Amino acid sequence: MSEMQKKEEFRTWLFLTAVLAPVLAVLVVSGYGFVVWISQIIGGPPGS
């Protein structure tokens, strides 16, 4: 049981740090980029 739990904890940690967190970071940044782009479509290019 304990070996199994240890393995599960490590896998969970690895999934979080190597997959979930980077994917979320990229999604947040690209989502932000899209929001800014859409706001530029509505409000015109920056500086105008």
Binding site for other proteins (CB under 8 A): 2, 5-6, 8-13, 16-18, 21-22, 25-26, 29-30, 32-34, 36-37, 40, 44-48
Give the shortest CB-33-to-other proteins separation in angstroms.
Answer: 4
Residue 29 DSSP symbol: H
Give the shortest CB-18-to-other proteins separation in angstroms.
Answer: 7
Give the shortest CB-44-to-other proteins separation in angstroms.
Answer: 6
Burial track 22-47 (b if 16+ CB lie within 10 A, e otherwise) = eeeeeeeeeeeeeeeeeeeeeeeeee
- The token pair at 15 is 């999934």
